[in-house]
Chains A and B, each alone.
Chain A
Amino acid sequence: MDIDQFLNKEFKDGDDLIVVDHLKKAFGSNVVLKDINLKVKKSQNLVVLGKSGIGKSVLIKCIVGLYSITAGRAFVLDEEVSTLEEDEINTLRKRIGYLFQGGALYDSMTVRENLAFPVRRTLFSKQPDEVEAMVVDVLKSVGLESSIDKVPSELSGGMKKRVGLARTLILKPDIILYDEPTTGLDPVTGQEISELMLSIKDEYDTTSITITHDMKCARMTANHIMVLRDGVVSAQGSYDELSQSDDEEIRAYFT
């Protein structure tokens, strides 16, 4: 991989930014994902539904290279994830954002330090005042500029998610992977996060995969929905198509 060329590589509407081809993931003798195929085009949001423990988070962790793939292939921004060296995958990850379920903020750092952390370690040429400006800008976009000096223990669940999202956005990723962005939040805060996801998509032109159980969030943000069952994709389509599915179990998600 030519790193400079890769970082400046442009994609146009209609390009497939994420392609998963017959992906299989097993932990020892436990086969979690048997045969997954999917494509996500630029500027689209794919929502993945499925029962708890079915392997939805495992799927996006395979896509971002946190888990190795047992069989099959995953391409992100035209790069095959499993064939990349450590430095190459770190370069690829500069263009991918990942919002963890609990925010995954660094406990020992303030919000400012949490946000500056990835910038200082990936964009070496940035001066401290430039980093500070980036931090303030991105915090404004999630509406939390007043919390810049707080530590994670002083933040509510919703605020942690917003800061996590800000940390994801600060490197201006092309792709964002949302792992249950509204889980554990009250309906009002959940709606606010969903609206934030939409505004981020418009403002930053991001492509995303969202793992969720929150159908309100799915309805607001999804261009395409995929349902996982028994380690395979059991159904896919638009929100309206799947909500009228003949399969009772699929319909149950939408009621």
Chain B
Amino acid sequence: MFPTNTMSEEKENNKKEFGWFDRTMLSIPDWITEFLVEIAEITRFTGSFFRNFGRRPFENKELLRQAYIVGFRSLGLVAITGFIMGMVLTLQSRPVLAEFGAESWLPGMVSVSIIMEIGPVITALIFAGKVGSSIGAELGSMRVTEQIDAMEVSGTNPMKFIVVTRVISTTLMLPVLVFFADALALYGSFLAVNINDDVSLKLFFYQAFDALSFRDIIPATIKTFFFGFAVGIIGCFKGYFSNSGTEGVGMSANSAVVASSLAIFIIDLLAVQITSLIGVIF
């Protein structure tokens, strides 16, 4: 609609006018600049979330509705995935352990893998795919159809109604979903063990939990809150600042999934490092 210079053209023009420091800064590739700008914007958006977090009146009804949508409606997918995850992990690990005659370690090995790492990360990734994309697309669509603007001009704070409720829901619901996924993964593992062996449910779960301590479970649970927060805030950010048009909505949904999946791995890496550090200190 309006003529625009690209960022590169602007940089080329500006290079002629500035000193060495500015020229160095301007020679930074566009994608790095854009990435840093995005990080700054998402940090500001997160700051705005925390500013609105405790402000009255609380949107309790919308919070419950969002918790139902992101939590209860994801239960089926998460449950099936968890169940299959436990079965597959058991079936693939059994031959290796059988070579050493260590089949009895199977419940313990599976429970440690599922509860400490695979359960939280896989469930969070599925959650990012289902919920992150839906939040990105929904808010993107609200932006395009001017529903967010309509809230603003009616004197309502859209951050509080739209963003705070969704981010709290994802933060609180993901740990619950991980708990369900872990439980079903262990049950799937129990069934898979019984394809070849004959182990009672009581003995299986005794062996599974014997290999775990609270020091394993607590950090694994805490990180799921951060995963949920990341999925919510990134989904909301991408949707809230969606470009106009249907393509913008699609891109919001897509980039919400990509960015939140990446954030999950980064948080997981940090969580493992911090847990190891705490383990060394104590």
Contacts and interface: CB of A to CB of B under 8 A. Distances in A.
B157 interface: yes
Given A30-B4, A32-B2, A121-B57, A98 B147 contact: no
Interface in B53-81: 57
B157 A90 contact: yes
Interface residues on A, range: 20 to 34
Given A90-B155, A104-B145, A29 B150 contact: no
Nearest to A92: B155
A213 to B, nearest CB: 17
Contact of A29 (B5, B156, B161): B5
B210 interface: no
Contact of A66 (B141, B142, B153, B155): B153
A107 B57 contact: no
B92 interface: no
A121 B156 contact: yes
Contacts of A97: 153
A29 B156 CA distance: 31
A28 interface: yes
Interface string B128-157: 000000000000011001110111111111
A93 B142 CA distance: 20
B146 A96 contact: no
A171 B153 CA distance: 12
Nearest to B56: A124
Interface in A204-244: none
Interface string A106-118: 1100000000011
A96 B4 CA distance: 34
Contact of A102 (B10, B145, B152): B145
A53 B153 CA distance: 22
B3 interface: yes
Contacts of B147: 104-107
Interface of A: 27-30, 32, 53, 61, 64, 66, 90-91, 93-94, 96-98, 100-102, 104-107, 117-118, 121-122, 124, 167, 171
22 contacts: A27-B2, A29-B4, A29-B10, A30-B2, A53-B2, A66-B149, A91-B155, A93-B155, A94-B155, A98-B150, A100-B150, A104-B146, A104-B149, A105-B150, A106-B142, A117-B154, A117-B156, A118-B154, A121-B155, A122-B156, A167-B150, A171-B154
